[in-house]
Amino acid sequence: MAIDKRFIGREYGPYTYTIGAEKMREFALALGGAHPAAGTPGEAPAHVSPLLHDAQAAKDGPYGDLIAFPSFAVVFAIRPFGSAVADPELGINLLMLVHGEQELEFLDVMRPGDVMTTTGRIAEIFEKAGMEFVVVTSESRNQRGDVVVKGTWTAVIRG
Amino acid sequence: MARTFQVGDTFTHVRECDRYRPIYYAGASGDFNPIHIDPEVGQAAGLGGVILQGLCTLGWAVEAVGIFVGDPGRIRRVKVRFSRPVRLEDTVTFQGRVTVLEGHRLVTEVTATNQRGEAVLKGAVVEASIG
């Protein structure tokens, strides 16, 4: 069943998320290959930058504080995409949905305590090769109103 | 930065999807889609078991370039197509090459292949600022 193109332009959000130091560290270490256990996100593998998990090294580094791993942004910036594909009016069968493409732009680093506000909209709905595509764009601003992350999220719904 | 870069420079980064990585990544990212944590659901969805979150693979490509430029805070853009799932105990090799250097803007093309030589990402581009 084709998704109605009249939903192009539908907006989702704003959604607000406060970045916490331990959540940033947990993400960087889980992605980086650490083995979390009760009470600890695990030992950082050697290739993981200390700027992501070592408070003292980060304080002495170029940003003066811990920074989030860039794709940590998906934790909050995915929200409009998640809302769009689950929007009952679109009627998408989530079991047939795959994440087809992803683009993220990072205009600044993210630090503990940053308050991110994300909005998004359905940018495109189209069919190709018997499958349906839904493209959602997102924009996340920090507490100063600066755009920090832009995302383009593409869902493919298998026929 | 003391280090200099040139078009054509290459780099390699290898990551293993160990048995619990999709669960650890689910906890850290909030992506608890059952196809990533429940083998029965993965089977029922025709995936032959659980698969790693594509956004984790994207993160590994970002990690590869962050290590190459020496600072993850310098990554400015990433774009990928997810062409094949990463499964438990797969080893993914990321090979990157600098394709553009304009002022402080460094663009790399990154391939990501599993231990069978199959591409798990297509058209992956990661940009960094080296200024």
Query: What end-to-end distance do the CA atoms of chain B give, in Å?
Result: 7
Residue B1: predicted pLDDT:
47
So where are chain A's domains? 1-19+68-159, 20-67
Q: Strand pairing partners for A121?
A: A11, A137
Option in A27, A33, A70 nearest B75 (CB): A70
**Residue of chain A minimizing CA distance to B45:** A95
- Split chain B (131 residues) into runs of 10 and give each run's mean pLDDT: 86 98 98 94 90 97 98 98 96 98 97 98 97 82
Would you mind telling me the total number of residues written for chain A in this entry?
159
Residue B2: predicted pLDDT:
56
Sorted by where each starts, the structural domains of chain B and their CATH numbers stand as: 10-17+52-129 (3.10.129.10)
Minimal C-alpha gap between B82 and chain A (Å): 6
Q: Is B59 in Cβ contact with A31 (below 8 Å)?
A: yes
Find the helix or strand (DSSP H, E) in which B105 lies.
Answer: strand B105-113
CA B92 to chain centre: 8
Architecture of domain A1-19+68-159: Roll (3.10)
Side chain identity, residue A41: P
Answer whether A76 touches B (CB < 8 Å).
no
Residue A59: predicted pLDDT:
97
Residue A1: predicted pLDDT:
62
Its ipTM equals 0.96
Residue A94: predicted pLDDT:
83
List of chain A residues whose C-beta atoms are within 8 Å of the C-beta of residue B80: 101-103
* Stretches in chain A below the pLDDT threshold 70: 1
